[in-house]
Amino acid sequence: MTRTDQDAATRPATFTVHSPATGDPVGEHPVHGPQDVARAVERARTATAGWAALSAAHRRAHLLRWKRALASSLDAVAETIAAETGKPRGDAALEVILTLEHLNWAARNADRVLRGRRVRSGLPAAGQRASVVHRPLGVIGVIGPWNYPLYTPMGSIGYALAAGNAVVFKPSEHTPGTGVLLAELLASAVPEHAGLLTTVTGTGATGEALAGSDVDKVAFTGSPGTARKVMAVCARSLTPFLAECGGKDATIVTADADLDAAADAVVWGALSNAGQTCAGVERVYVVREAHAPLCRKVVERARALRVGPVPDAVYGPMTMPAQAAVVRRHVEQALAGGARALLGDATSMSTSTSTEASGTSRTSGASATSGAFVAPVVLADVPEDSPAMTEETFGPVVAINAVTSVDEAVRRANASPYALAASVFCHDRRAGAAIAARLRAGAVSVNSVLGFAAVPALPFGGSGESGFGRIHGADGLRAFTAPQSVTVQRFTPPVNLTSFSTPAAARARAVAVARWLHRHR
């Protein structure tokens, strides 16, 4: 074997990322295997020792330096996100801004949230001073999604770092460049802590290698099916696992709601990012007397949007072209089951769309390489057992069904196996909050959609098929720590109940006193 052949044999395989909008290559990245992942984790293990030993003030200063570097590189980061996902440049920039807000909050609040605190000892342990401290877990493995390749994984990465951990990040194979750039920016901003954030790239096998490596916790975002596979790998070593697995998010609209505001929010929540938002809007339940006017307003707004391969399109193509087939199936089965198409239909699932100057969508004859653009679809009267109501569509489709009452709307919203996010539109804000409290969703916005996403102090996560665990806020910081309980004996107790030398009579008197107190307090 020649030296050239030897070099080729040891060189890692690579994969090419293509623009979902144009099909053009936008980057080439190595396929990291189990040994590469193990080395990254080992490097992170070395880094975490020095990082965890820093004072909270020093970690805060380093993370804020990273935040400023990310803000200074906003254009480059947004361009990378837009190129890899196909979303408009403005949407990508907004994603960076939201990320900065969360990183800023995590850096500035970690000390307050995680500092040790005293707790009451209680009468039997009156001689003990009791406290709780939160210790970093060590190395966190983060497996990120492609729809929000910066904002979503940073809900784990930023908070894990703020809590004193190091991170190995495996971005989606559709958006690896965003993850690589993120790690490069941290390395340049905080060069004295090499290995603090390492990005490994590749397909599902790389993610599996990370889950099976020596990490101390895995934070995953993706489909429920993939989550189960990753969790099975983690189960081999009892590695803690945090999962955010999407949603079938419902919006409830009462009869007295501001229908213009509700329609505007529904259109944005359902169609922004081509509907590829786990906490957006997929189902709408509106009290019957408001159903027709709300449908009309939603259709008017959706029809006016410019979509397709045009410079000023409000959203881009399916980041994964195969997702268009899922959208088509959901729409076709809904219509076959008796649903009405108020805007668009199964023909909206062409490989590409363009838009007339008037804003009305039409199908074009562009090549499939120009991207899987899907025009907006608005459905009504969709059977509740249709996949469009039970499965995550993840495309620019919204189903609007009439209900007889708010009680029925709540029942239908809660009937989904998903429980991630929801929204309520109601004239009376207190009544809206009361409806929100009845929903299973982990996050609910009243009179807005995704209002919680821009509030870093709020925890985010769901239950059921939407996963478990929380990121963001104080809960998100604590999710990447291990609470340690500590007692320090201040004085010898009058009756030592944890000693064999204590006389039986003294023990009996202590029990009698405790029983009397608990019977009369």
φ, ψ of residue 471 in degrees (nearest 5): -115, 170
Q: In what order do the strands lie in the sheet with 217-221?
A: 197-199, 166-170, 139-143, 217-221, 241-244, 467-468
DSSP 8-state symbol, 471: B
CA distances from residue 244 to 67, 227, 419, 437 in whole angstroms, order as listed = 24, 8, 10, 21
Closest CA to 427 of 415, 416, 435: 435
Burial of 184 (0-12, 13-18, 19+ CB in 10 A): middle
In angstroms, the CA 247 to CA 498 distance is 51
Beta strand 25-30 with 14-18 is: antiparallel
In angstroms, the CA 175 to CA 173 distance is 6
* Cα 449 to chain centroid, rounded: 16
Instruction: Tell which phi-psi region holds residue 319, choosing left (phi > 0), alpha (psi between -120 and 50) or beta.
Output: alpha
Instruction: Tell which phi-psi region holds residue 419, choosing left (phi > 0), alpha (psi between -120 and 50) or beta.
Output: beta
Residues taking part in catalysis: 244, 278
Q: Identify the sign of the CA torsion 465, 254, 346, 320.
A: negative
CB atoms < 10 A from the CB of 68, how many? 13
Q: Residue 425, SS3?
A: strand
